[in-house]
Structure 1
Amino acid sequence: MSELALSTVVPATLPTHLSGMAGTNRAPASASRQIAANDDVAAIGLWLAEYHGSPHTFRSYRKEAERLLLWATQIRGKAVSSLTREDVLAYEAFLAQPLPTWCDESLARRGDHRRLFAGPLSERSQRQALGILSGLFNYLVRAGYLAGTPFALQPRSRRGRQGRRTIERYLDRALWQDVLVHVEQWPQASGRDRQRYERARWVLRLLYETALRASEAAQARESDLFHRRGCWWLRVTGKGGVEGDVPISEALMADFASYRAFHGLPVVPGSDSPRPLILGIAGRDAPLTATAVYLIVKEALGRVAEVVAPTDPVRAARLRRASTHWLRHTAATHQAEAGNPVHHIQHNLRHSSIATTSIYLHAEEDARHASTTQARATIPLPKERP
């Protein structure tokens, strides 16, 4: 039923005491069950199925579910539906220091027989992993499969610190402008060079102007564009099937017309055309995957980093780390810095909570840093002793 069950990373069948059929945290038989799954793999597979419409999210969530299931059954000797708060704390420690065999570099990075960790997870990656698993357990509780979730006991102070963070994975305006300028300087002597230039130029502008996720950009079609009250909009279906309308500027539509003209297409998109906004290789109408969009961005930013590195290695390193999701964060941050109302940014990014959008508001932190460092600069330094 699930791709998790079909993966050879996780055994196709587990012994009864590890399968979860008799898990100590299973909801009582009298509970109102919303799912028919009766073992942990099937229940987790159903949770994953809720995210099939978002390939990137699905892969990320499956990775965390596989890690936990293997750790629980192979190392802890327990079913996932028998895990307690003590087990969760032990798993937190494991994420910070996984077994060497789980990080074996001789194993492939992808595929069924892959290594599960590249190494110890950073604090941020640990929080992300535990947040995903908390969502899994909450789902299984609501489904009537589990009696409770050990993640609910997480101290409020720790959750509070996470909620007050601001986003750091973005490019400041100067660096983003450098990216655009350097891409314009790419060689265009051959047809292949021109094609790579046109594609990178369009993909970078599309992701930045719309704050789309890579999967959303890959799925976007001409028919998703529409004109309302003299303005262009893009209808997007994002994570969890949430729909939203994203404003499209006249400048971006001009960039789209230029991109289409290069491929010999009419400058005005068809209102009922299924043609993707990002064309496949050599302009084919077959859509790219989210991974392909990701790689286009990584290659473009990497090329810019090579140019920047000799004079500014710090900024070059930042560009090498950046990805498609950085462009989403960059768009939101720049909108906030420009004074765009936070509820407008919330709708543009299609966040369910305005608290999520607030992580892009850096102005208060910038002001605090400036006032603190300027005050320090006014304190006279002691004279050197003779």
Structure 2
Amino acid sequence: MTEPAVTLLALPQALPPALSGGVGTNRAPASVARQIAANDDVAAIGLWLAEYHDSPHTFRSYRKEAERLLLWATQVRGKPVSSLTREDVIAYEAFLAQPPATWCDAGLARRGEHRRLFIGPLAERSRRQALGILAGLFNYLVRAGYLAGSPFVLQRRRARRGPRRTIERYLDRALWDQVLRVVDGWPQTTARERQRYERVRWILRFLYETALRAAEAAAASEGDFQPIRGRWWLHTVGKGGVEGTIPLSDGLMEDFARYRRFHGLPALPSGDGTAPAILGIAGRSSPLTPTAVYQIVKDTFRRVADELQKHDGAQAARVRRASTHWLRHTAATHQAEDGTPIHHIQQNLRHSSIGTTSIYIHAEEDARHASTTKPRIEPSVSHGDVP
């Protein structure tokens, strides 16, 4: 079997045997059944990263954290990743809070072997995120039979500080409607312009209505659209292999029919069809990559922002920041505002915890803010009452 090709770690030099992890002190004993063939830390981490090959942004984020830990372990602690202990993890968290200047040198390149790995100290939230990613890495290696245990499992649970976390990376309904209106005003004089318009029109509505991630949307095909008891559903497989079904509105199916007819396909998808849900610019049958879907959406938002800039700089700036994941957040937020039960939103987004879904519930906080800050009516005072 051919192992997946993964551009993993840009190390300044090959690791010597003592630091490679071949004989790490936390390696699982030979009696443990191995699920992976990798026998050194770089290869084992590479297999973990390969699990995220279809999600480019997640892949790059996870690779960055793996590189930082590997270089710190081998260069600062003088040990392989597979020998790290709980004491090392505590020391690494302190390192993230105050990395030495040599690791933050602005004169270093942004890419390549000798590059800058830090801009500066990581804030508490960024440190928690980094350690959470690495905890996932170690859990994977333990389940794979590569490591005996994870030094991250002993990490104490910190009480959340500040107000309940809510999602702010979304477009309110008025701004979302404005985005669609701007796109609908794009020129469609040439065949190429018409092709681009129809594709963008469909991608925006598809991602918004289904709350799919870019990788999930890129992987969707017409065979995933399933009519059940007279209603349409979309079957999808998301992060971690989690399967789910998403209800599809009649309006979205009409948009899909329009998109398919434009490319000369039957209006209704075939249950055994293989045509991608998102076709190439000229209707090619090969699916787009998740990166291509992401770039199409980003380019669309930049173009819309340029138009909005003429009238409202603040709205333009917000749209310019938006991405495919903003559409997922926008979908969930609008569903919550429409009164969709939270457990239904949880199923639509395929969250394992309803607590994760609750970050989209803004209505209660908005109502509390409005009732607290509404203008007070000052009681009238008659001068005759003043002593």
TM range (shorter): 0.7 to 0.9
The normalised TM-score by structure 2 is 0.85
CA shift in 2, pair 1:127/1:175, >3 Å? farther
CA shift in 2, pair 1:162/1:71, >3 Å? farther
Q: Distance in 1 between matches of 2:191 and 2:123?
A: 43
Q: Distance in 1 between matches of 2:130 and 2:89?
A: 12
Greater mean deviation of Cα atoms: 298-307 or 349-358: 349-358
- Within 5 Å, give how 1:49-64 maps onto structure 2: 49-52=50-53, 54=55, 56-64=57-65
Output one character per residue of 1:51-106: Cα deviation in whole Å (capped at 9) or x when no partner. 45655544443332223212322344332123344543454455466656667687
Post-superposition offset of 1:300: 0.9
Greater mean deviation of Cα atoms: 358-367 or 280-289: 358-367
Q: Who wins on radius of gyration, i.e. which is larger?
A: 2
Q: Which amino acid aligns with 1:192?
A: R
Q: Does the 8 Å CA contact 1:54/1:239 hold for their aligned counterparts?
A: no
- Correspondence 1:192 to 2:192: yes
Q: Does the 8 Å CA contact 1:56/1:215 hold for their aligned counterparts?
A: no
- Within 5 Å, give how 1:331-342 maps onto structure 2: 331-342=331-342
Q: Distance in 2 between matches of 1:341 and 1:334?
A: 12
- Correspondence 1:42 to 2:43: yes
Q: Does the 8 Å CA contact 1:20/1:39 hold for their aligned counterparts?
A: yes
CA shift in 2, pair 1:267/1:106, >3 Å? farther
Identity of aligned residues (%): 67
Q: Distance in 2 between matches of 1:167 and 1:68?
A: 29
Q: Distance in 1 between matches of 2:253 and 2:355?
A: 31
Q: How many residues align?
A: 373
- Report the counterpart of residue 313 of structure 2 in structure 1: 313
Q: Distance in 1 between matches of 2:107 and 2:194?
A: 38
Post-superposition offset of 1:22: 3.5
Q: Distance in 2 between matches of 1:184 and 1:272?
A: 32
- Within 5 Å, give how 1:98-137 maps onto structure 2: 107=109, 115=115, 117=117, 119-120=119-120, 124-137=125-138
Q: Distance in 1 between matches of 2:107 and 2:292?
A: 25
> What is the DSSP-based 3-state SS (H/G/I as helix, E as strand, rest coil) of the residue aligned with 1:152?
coil
Q: Does the 8 Å CA contact 1:297/1:323 hold for their aligned counterparts?
A: yes
Q: Which amino acid aligns with 1:215?
A: A
Output one character per residue of 1:261-302: Cα deviation in whole Å (capped at 9) or x when no partner. 222222222222111111112111111110110011111111
- Report the counterpart of residue 213 of structure 1 in structure 2: 213
Q: Does the 8 Å CA contact 1:26/1:82 hold for their aligned counterparts?
A: yes
- Report the counterpart of residue 78 of structure 1 in structure 2: 79
Q: 1 or 2, which has the higher helix percentage?
A: 1
Q: Distance in 1 between matches of 2:13 and 2:243?
A: 36
Q: Which amino acid aligns with 2:158?
A: S
- Report the counterpart of residue 383 of structure 1 in structure 2: none
> What is the DSSP-based 3-state SS (H/G/I as helix, E as strand, rest coil) of the residue aligned with 2:152?
helix
Post-superposition offset of 1:221: 0.6
The normalised TM-score by structure 1 is 0.85
Q: Which amino acid aligns with 1:378?
A: R
Q: Distance in 2 between matches of 1:163 and 1:138?
A: 30
Q: Does the 8 Å CA contact 2:188/2:197 hold for their aligned counterparts?
A: yes
Q: Which amino acid aligns with 1:141?
A: V
Q: Does the 8 Å CA contact 1:210/1:248 hold for their aligned counterparts?
A: yes
Greater mean deviation of Cα atoms: 77-86 or 321-330: 77-86
Post-superposition offset of 1:118: 7.5
Q: Does the 8 Å CA contact 1:104/1:115 hold for their aligned counterparts?
A: no
Unaligned runs of 5+ in 1: 381-386
- Report the counterpart of residue 384 of structure 1 in structure 2: none
> What is the DSSP-based 3-state SS (H/G/I as helix, E as strand, rest coil) of the residue aligned with 2:340?
coil
Output one character per residue of 1:206-250: Cα deviation in whole Å (capped at 9) or x when no partner. 000000110111111111111111111111111122211111111
Root mean square deviation, CA, Å: 3.0
> What is the DSSP-based 3-state SS (H/G/I as helix, E as strand, rest coil) of the residue aligned with 1:292?
helix
- Report the counterpart of residue 150 of structure 1 in structure 2: 151
